Amino acid sequence: MRCSPWAERRRRPRTDGGADGGTATAETAAALPALALVLAVALAAVNAVATHLACVDAARAGARALARGEAESAVLEAAARAAPEEAQTRATRSRGEVRVEVSAPIRIMPGMPAPVRAVATAATPVEPGAPP
């Protein structure tokens, strides 16, 4: 008595020698380095954006402090607190406007030299009544 034609097909031994056996393993082994590279580039991009945003925040904090008439040392200190490590800060006053520039190196990987710097500038008018 025959059950079904598919039951016989499942019981037959494979005769093709498994021509596609291990293909998924080889494809995964080839794709993993590419995936690791994409992940590294994405993390470097996130680090670059975070460094730039920290520079923007530091420049804004410094410009606000300078516009209120605070001393330049206090302005540089306020900017340094918000700035990333190794940041350089410069503050200037001219024609009723203050400007603070903060730049910091963007590290792609720890221990590597920084290939580029993030630069942010904030400018605001001097507040009325603020000392020159």
What number of other Cβ atoms are within 10 A of residue 98's Cβ?
Answer: 24
pLDDT greater than 90 at residue 24: no
Q: pLDDT by residue (tens digit) across 2-22? A: 666 565 555 555 555 555 666
Structure tokens at 132: 């020159």
Tens digits of per-residue pLDDT, 85-96? 889 999 998 888
Backbone CA torsion sign across 83, 62, 59, 91: negative
Q: Quick check: pTM over 0.85?
A: no
| Distinct helix (H) and strand (E) counts, the chain | 3, 3
